[in-house]
Chains A and B, each alone.
Chain A
Amino acid sequence: MASAILAKRQFSVRYLPGFSSVAILCFVLLYAPIAALVVYSFNLGTNIALWEGFSWHWYAVAWENELVQEVTVRSLVVASIAAVSSTILATMAALGTTRTGDYRGRIVIYATINQPLMVPEIVTGVALLIFFAIIKTATGYHGLAYLIAAHTAFCIPFAYLPIRARLEGMDSSLETAAQDLYATPMQTFWRITLPLMWPGILAGFMLAFVISLDDVVITELVKSAGQDTLPTYMLGQLRRGITPEVNAISSALLGISILLVSVFYVLRNR
């Protein structure tokens, strides 16, 4: 009897011909260009399509390039400040929107928080360009604060989403239980609420950091002269074609993003 079943392919309700092949093709297409980019970043030669041997050469070149150092530091500074501040703001907002019953105006708060996700980046970029130009003429200040403010704003929804999800999944009777056991509202927050929402906060921070680090469009429009970040610097390098050096920088940035996102996933599933 078993052989009869084995002889004929079993009928599967879920099977659709060709779907699995397309799916596998899709995964290959998604990863092949990225893989090629990473592989060729270790290529000894200058032609990025012909393999001439393994080397760290282009990483060393990028590492010693003072301009690359400068824009990398700027990227990290902007991303760190923007991620920290947007995470703090998003945590407060998440507490403000989940720790209470329905109230009028909550839908407006949601819409405002998610607004950067809905408006095309180019439009937000243009709006900030105009707005900051007005402030620049009025105050004469041309510093990095504009970039940081813009990044903080568009990072808020990315930080907010995982924190809110965490808070909503949290059993509110835990906070009640803490108060029942003589914890004041402040003690309840520090001993129960904050430790329990911590993975969400960390996840929100990671996302915000990655999003800020990767931003091109808004940065390109908002930055003053000499305020390139790593991505806008790379975009600017495009005029000279893609050099293996840009390849090396891209691979490094890719590695950081994948690492942070993986950590985010681990945190979310915990």
Chain B
Amino acid sequence: MSESNSLTLSKSGRAHALATAADRKRKLRSYFLLCIPALLVLLLAAAGPLLIVLVYTFLEAGPYGGVVWQLSLDGWFEVFLKEDIFDGTVSIADAHLSIFWRSVKLSFQSTVLALVLGFPTAYFIATRSAATRNLWLFLITIPFWTNLLIRTFAIMQVIRDQGIINTWLIKFGIIEAPIEMLYTEFAIMLGMTYVYLPLMVLPLYASIEKLDFRLVEAAYDLYATRLRVLWRVIVPLVKPGIIAGSILVFIPSLGAYVTPRVLGGGKNLMLGNLIELQFGQGRNWPLGAALSITLLFIVMVSLLVYVRSTQRKDIGHG
């Protein structure tokens, strides 16, 4: 309550004001209390443990997994470097680096492929009549809500040596020996594109749906060809959707575990598999923890880019 207002009020008025303020405060507190149980569960079984991961990166690996409570930077050290067992020389951990590189490369390729396929699809849905649009959207979201493992299995069946493609190609005499597709980087890339495609289409659709087609009309009126309209008008206008979709595909691809495990066949590891390995056969929990924090860091930076891009969009419209 500001000074000037208090002065105009009678004594009882000030009492009223205090009473209503206290009332409001009590109400707010009771609303906040409603959030407490959910927050508690999330802090205990989702957010809180992340701090423990951070602590573990600075501990020494136990001989049979777990940690020894002793300060050590080995975890972080081993993320990028390795020490020769015999002569103790330090060199770059090229095995880890190649996995990092593969993760980034395949995630990027998946994102591009998803964009190439997803953009026309989103455009197609957005230009349908209002009556059928929801049906097409529903068809895009259905796979998203079905089991990721099962969808990966489905892809696996199509591309494996005795899979549908190879079997039929051989049957019709087009090829003699099966084309080796499964357990390759290509398989992982294809699989990730397949499972995360809906994440590309949905934000793209949201952007294109809002597109003002009078602007497109104006461009045609000013002698632009179809291709020029696409490049110079449509793409720049739906750029926020393109960024959002790309990041929504890139982030889960980077941390993917199931798809590379099933389609990569254990030899084409990605970051997710490398992390899991440290808690399984690798028995190097501090390294696994450090790798996790590294992945989390990359994801958070990407998310920040995402948030920035959506905010800029708001400013542009406001």
Contacts and interface: CB of A to CB of B under 8 A. Distances in A.
Nearest to B197: A30
A78 to B, nearest CB: 13
Interface in A57-84: none
Nearest to B159: A33
Nearest to B151: A34
A49 B45 CA distance: 43
Given A14-B213, A33-B194, A50-B167, A96 B33 contact: yes
Contact of A109 (B39, B48, B149, B252): B39
Given A95-B34, A127-B292, A130-B52, A22 B303 contact: no
Interface in A15-51: 15-20, 22-27, 29-34, 36-37, 40, 47-50
A193 interface: no
B150 interface: yes
17 contacts: A20-B124, A24-B124, A34-B146, A37-B153, A40-B157, A49-B168, A95-B34, A96-B34, A97-B31, A100-B31, A126-B289, A127-B49, A131-B52, A250-B154, A254-B147, A258-B146, A264-B145
A154 B257 CA distance: 17
B156 A242 contact: yes
Nearest to B215: A13
A125 B149 CA distance: 16
A49 B163 CA distance: 6
Contact of A112 (B32, B34, B47): B47
A7 B299 CA distance: 55
A26 B150 contact: no
Contact of A261 (B141, B148, B156, B162): B141
A196 interface: no
Interface of A: 13-20, 22-27, 29-34, 36-37, 40, 47-50, 86, 89-90, 92-93, 95-97, 99-100, 103, 105, 109, 112-113, 115-116, 118-131, 133-134, 149-150, 152-154, 156, 160, 207, 210, 213-214, 216-217, 220-221, 231, 234-235, 238, 242, 246-247, 250, 253-254, 257-258, 260-262, 264-265, 269
B276 interface: yes
B278 to A, nearest CB: 9
Given A19-B124, A93-B39, A116-B46, A126 B53 contact: yes
A89 B37 contact: yes
B34 A130 contact: no
B138 A131 contact: no
A103 B26 CA distance: 13
Nearest to A214: B147
B41 A156 contact: yes
Contacts, number: 262
Contacts of B162: 47-49
Interface centre among A32, A49, A234 (most CB of B within 10 A): A49
A165 B255 CA distance: 29
Nearest to A261: B145
A105 B36 CA distance: 12
A48 B97 CA distance: 38
Interface of B: 27-28, 31-35, 37-39, 41-50, 52-53, 56, 66, 117-118, 120-121, 123-125, 127, 134, 138-143, 145-151, 153-158, 162-164, 166-168, 194, 197, 213, 216-217, 220, 226, 230, 251-252, 254-255, 257-258, 261-262, 271-272, 275-276, 279, 285, 288-289, 292-293, 295-296, 299-300, 303
Nearest to A148: B45
Given A95-B31, A100-B31, A242 B49 contact: no
Given A112-B43, A121-B255, A258-B142, A133 B194 contact: no
Nearest to B213: A13
B255 A26 contact: no
A120 B38 contact: no
B299 A120 contact: yes
Nearest to A159: B38
B35 A97 contact: yes
Contacts of A100: 27-28, 31
A128 B45 contact: yes
Of all A-B residue pairs in the complex, the 9 with the closest CB atoms, nearest first, are: A120-B255, A23-B124, A96-B34, A127-B49, A33-B154, A153-B45, A131-B49, A22-B120, A49-B167
